Chains A and B, each alone.
Chain A
Amino acid sequence: MNVFAALVWREFTERRLLLLASAFLGLVPLIVPFLPGSPQIKPQDLRLATTVVVTLLFGGTVLVVLGSTIVGRDLSEGRLGFFFSRPISAWSLWTSRIVAAVLLLLASLALLTLPTALLDSGVLTGDRIGESSQYAWPLLGFKEVFALPGVMRSLPDMPSRPVRLGILLVALVTLLALIHAASTIVRGRSAWVLVDLTGLGATLMIGWWARNLLIGEEAITALVWAEWFLLPWILAAALAAGAVQLARGRTDLKLGHRYLSATLWPALLLGALIFYGFAQFVVASSIDDLENAIHLRASPDEAWLVVGGRVQHRGRAEAAFLLDTATERSWRLGSLGAVHAWFDFSDDGRTAAWVRCRSFARLDCSVWAKDLADAASSPRRTPVPFDSRPNELVLNADGSRLAMVGWRRMAIYDLASGSLLAAVDVNHPNDTAFVTSDRIRFMELDDGDDPPGMRLVQFDIPSRQLSEIGNLPRSFRTLLSLRDERVIFTQTQPLGFGLYDTASAQPVGELHLHQRLPSQVHFLADGRCVLVFRNGFEVSLSVLSAAGELEYSVNGPKTLGTRFGGEIAPGRVLVGFNEVLGDPEPMSVGGIEGATERRWATYVFDVETRQLEAIGVGVRPVGSRRNMSKDHLFMAPGSTILRWNLESADHKVLLGPFEGAEQARDFELKPLS
């Protein structure tokens, strides 16, 4: 320890001029506000901004200088023999120099920031760094603050300041060791630089592939996990390489370079391969790896189901799968986020299309499709050349055409050939739908207003003509009817909601039922709609005619939420209620979830008889609103997905219950009366 301390102290004192320079530069921010021509801002802000700039520039320089000379200078100038001719182990020599460099760097950063910190204590906590940064950015062109307090502050979700300091230290040591490695390679000037370039290229390439795999899957937490693994791995590799260089190469620069390279690149390549293997593991999840089902979307006939959720052991990554409910065979679609945003079933239930992206790059996406009529076929990448991220992906009724809708442009493709049928400039389109295979209707949002005004617009594909159908009211939320012939708005002027004809953009009816907004709306096949109004735990169902007139209202069970299923027969709708059991405790914001025991129950609401018939306890519908059969999909406790024949009450569990999900409870199913 005595030897180690002696070595550290020697290195530290040898470079004491760095500390003197840091102390001097630390005073510069105090002088700047008094210089003629300095920006007319508050002196403390100018001090902070100057501190950021000086710390970044000088701190960075010190880092590079220390990293490149802490061993390399003595080695190339033939002075390392002095230490190897003394009772000093190579490990002590290496670690003492790294420790001395870190201490010097920290001392230098402290001296650079200390004078300003003494004048403005906010620097110490980082409270003011964001404020000052606005002056520093234009000077530096950087997006992040790398000054000590800024780094501490900018690290997200770090549990405590010691952990942040630890990360900073690990990062500094890693950088020092890597700069030393680079310095050795440059000073070595041997043919081994080809090995270095090959190792660097291979490591970066594998790492880049792995990163893109995870980003394409939107597995950001997994990527963060990987970075948490990679940072200490790189540190260990760089430290080990430096140690091996000194232990085996000793005073011979070229030999040391070879040992450094022979240690560093295999270690970094192994780390990159582990990273890549982890990324492949993340993207290779199967439906059996699901921990829960947080996204469910059924095909119109409910023969197919998209299930998305978190996949286990993969850094909280989420994935989506397409499940054939008949054979229970499944295919991985990609990241849940992409499938959630860009997936569509054709109305005939024979085609599914979706977007997969390989990274966050703008032009790194592709359109995929599956022929649902051929259940055994695999998903295929379509020749559709649309490679950016759309706002909407919409299939026409028979799945032959695909509309890719962006903020400013809409393109319609032939799905089989990938040929572009038409493209048109648009302005923030929304709720795009094929009226026919040759005609698309969508709503354009007006810029700037909140909530925005809307125009109903129609695009004729053969003639490539865009025509405005009419204006629609400013609204918060819209819902299209089953065949898109009606649209209902929750509007602000006047407060209430309105039912509009989508073919003419004319109001069918203006509704002012309870001076409240419905929480759920369900259109029936005949054009009528059922609205759910909630007042605390009290729920009522109101039925409107196709002309928008109120026919009647009935009360439902006490509930915290409702979910409509399909219309199982004309005028008979599946409704799930999240029922409150016993006497509900008074509602309070944020206290509902834990305060009240509840369970899902499924009813059939008969619009003609106005009756609610309970047919299932512990289950809720998840199926399509277009499925007018007796076979439907439901979710039971533990996110269990089951297919249920309402007439026979026969059921088949397709998925779940999932481990770690809500404790599986019993559920009951009754046949329809």
Chain B
Amino acid sequence: MTEAKPGPIIDVEGLGVRYGKTAALRDVSLQVPPGAVTALLGRNGAGKSSLVRCLLGHRKPSSGRVELLGLDSWRHRAQLMEQIGVVPEDPDAPPTMTAEQLGRFSARLYPEWDAKGYAARLQRFDVPGRIAFARLSKGQRAQIMLSLALAVKPRVLILDDPTLGLDAVARRAVFEELVVELADRELTVLITSHDLPGIESIASHVAILKAGELLLDEELEQLKSRFRRIALGRVDGRGDRDADGSDLFEGLGPLEVRSRGRGIEALVSRFDDSAFERLRALPDVHSVETWPATLEDIVIALTDGGSH
């Protein structure tokens, strides 16, 4: 007897969003399984925020379907929001309210409001409870928004670039809090960010948008296993300055190929062991080195239109 596989928590199918004549998203399909931490990445204007707005039911898709927890996010927004924690790109809490007032206000909106947890997080973040939201630093505002989102005891957490504009300390605090929360409970997260090193530490899945289209959606480990950097040392010691050397990486999906010293360095997207052996067997190659690409390498290579 086989167990039924649980359906995706976030299920986006053929999503299109238009602003007048401009298409912000085109035929985007994305599934986020339960418990996954999906990093939604892409350059500015790639369509990340449009996708998040559709997920939150703030905007009706121009085409396609967006479901959260099995419900249409536009039609059932208010109902869904009881189980969803949100941290927006710009902390948007009412500017005159203090952290304490925000907590009391939220307690009346959510049936499972975690008042103790909210207070504890504020204390951990060292955020003053009685100062108006608008008078706090950007980092403190982001920390309050994260505290509000987690105190909901959400099944899904949606974070739209929560560390934008924060200093390194504040960024680390946010990510550490997320790591703690993720370790404690089964939580599905969709996070957009430009802080790629930070997100790499918590993401289990990665989806990359480019110009409104989804380039990829897969597990981070799998992604990193197939995206590798390779350095070739040539026997004749020439860096093959006359040619770009791409033909050496034929079949590996080269994204970047550049001369480096006496050899050639490349970022490939379809690396496997047989490819490695094939490179070592080349007659004019005396050494082959390979190491994992960083998420930043991958995203830059995929989304920087002119370099590969």
Contact = CB atoms under 8 A, between A and B. Distances in A.
Contact of A87 (B60, B92, B109): B109
Contacts of B94: 10, 14, 74, 79, 82
B119 interface: no
A271 to B, nearest CB: 28
Contact of B105 (A10, A79, A89, A90): A10
B53 A87 contact: no
A78 B59 contact: no
B108 A6 contact: yes
Interface residues of A, number: 24
A101 to B, nearest CB: 16
A2 interface: yes
Contacts of B57: 84, 250
Given A14-B94, A78-B90, A86 B58 contact: no
A87 B79 contact: yes
A82 B56 contact: no
Contacts of A89: 78
Contacts of B86: 85
A88 interface: yes
Nearest to A89: B78
B58 A84 contact: yes
A514 B86 CA distance: 99
Contacts of B240: none
Nearest to B80: A87
B97 interface: yes
Given A3-B108, A87-B109, A251-B53, A81 B88 contact: yes
A516 interface: no
Nearest to A88: B78
A82 B59 contact: no
Nearest to A11: B94
A324 interface: no
A3 B109 contact: yes
Contacts of B105: 6, 10
Contacts of A6: 105, 108-109
A79 B92 contact: yes
A86 B81 contact: yes
A169 B60 CA distance: 35
A5 B107 CA distance: 13
B141 to A, nearest CB: 12
A20 to B, nearest CB: 14
Nearest to B90: A78
A604 B107 CA distance: 93
B58 A88 contact: no
Interface in A154-202: none
B82 A87 contact: yes
Interface residue tally on B, bucketed by range: 20 to 34
B184 to A, nearest CB: 23
Contact of A14 (B60, B96, B110): B96
Nearest to A255: B59
B92 A78 contact: yes
B108 A82 contact: no
A88 B96 CA distance: 20
Contacts of B92: 78-82
A255 B84 CA distance: 25
Residue among B57, B88, B108 with most chain A CB within 10 A: B108
Interface in B231-245: none
Contact of B81 (A85, A251, A252): A85
B106 interface: yes
A248 interface: yes
A250 B93 CA distance: 16
B77 interface: yes
A314 B81 CA distance: 52
Nearest to B56: A85
B109 A82 contact: no
B250 to A, nearest CB: 48
Contacts of B59: 250-252, 255
Contacts of B53: 251
Contacts of A250: 57-59
13 contacts: A3-B108, A10-B105, A82-B93, A84-B56, A85-B81, A85-B84, A85-B88, A87-B81, A88-B78, A88-B81, A88-B109, A248-B60, A251-B59
Given A6-B108, A84-B77, 4 more contacts: A3-B109, A87-B109, A90-B78, A255-B59
**4 closest cross-chain pairs (CB), A and B:** A6-B108, A85-B86, A87-B81, A82-B92
Interface of B: 53, 56-60, 77-79, 81-82, 84, 86, 88, 90, 92-97, 105-106, 108-110
Interface of A: 2-3, 5-6, 10, 14, 74, 78-82, 84-90, 248, 250-252, 255
